[in-house]
Structure 1
Amino acid sequence: METDGVVLSRAVADAGRSLAFYRNGLGMKEAKLMFGIACLELPGLTLFLAGPDDFARNTGLTARAGVSATAGGRSDGVLSCAIRSTEEVDRLLKTAQAAGGTASEPRVMDHASGRKQYIGTVTDPDGYVWQLVCNIKDPGEGA
């Protein structure tokens, strides 16, 4: 398959609230609202966050915005984002929490490749989960 990029559409309770969270909480300043849908351009990925009516109109699917009670976040997937330094992971966790998200304490984990990763998890106001991942040589050292 050859593509010009990947687009992910997710249902959210309020596209404006989501836009504010991603701009203020995760620093995605280029995010914008288009036709009532929050649009976030990431390297290789366009993310559309649409309220229930816009989501249904554009996808033909029933919207299911909201938090899953079982996992503290939606259980239908996790977006992972490569971050350049452990300090940036820490900063993003703090700003995301201040903007209405829920953040975990970061942790160092062994990756299957043998390197270590510094990982923090953020849940946005609709319960969608993001992992902020920094590949490290030593704890506290960026990739």
Structure 2
Amino acid sequence: MSSMFCCSSIVPYRGSLLMHESKFQRFMTWAQRSKSSPVANSASYFQTPAHIPEFAVQLVQQINYGPVESKRYFIPSTNDSTDGNCGFLEVTEQDLIIGNFQKLNTYKNFKCTTHNKFFELNIYQKNPINKHHWRFNIARPSTDIDI
């Protein structure tokens, strides 16, 4: 169990409204009030069609202009509360590969000047269609394709 962010003073870095803005906002609302998240036993989420999440979020933490410290993955919980606040469960990168999730071309960046940290949020979806290239895309670990 570990903290989502280094502190509560993170701010958007070059923020802009995106097509998937609601997904980023759902995650950030949860992450800023959540102190930690255990790694879920996600095998049941990706093997049962009824439980397959609509998206996943990758949280990358790094020192500003430095090395990556961590990459964590989260999916919306199926146990949503009645007030509309969604929780998230932490999963592994292998879970996303098994579920055939692929990274979309959308991201948000956040910065903490107090701790000199930089955070990047990426959205993953199951079987996204790349309408620009219309090509088959094999799921690979992000460590193989991230630059």
TM-score range, shorter chain: under 0.3
Q: Normalising to structure 2: TM-score of the pair?
A: 0.26
TM-score (norm 1): 0.27
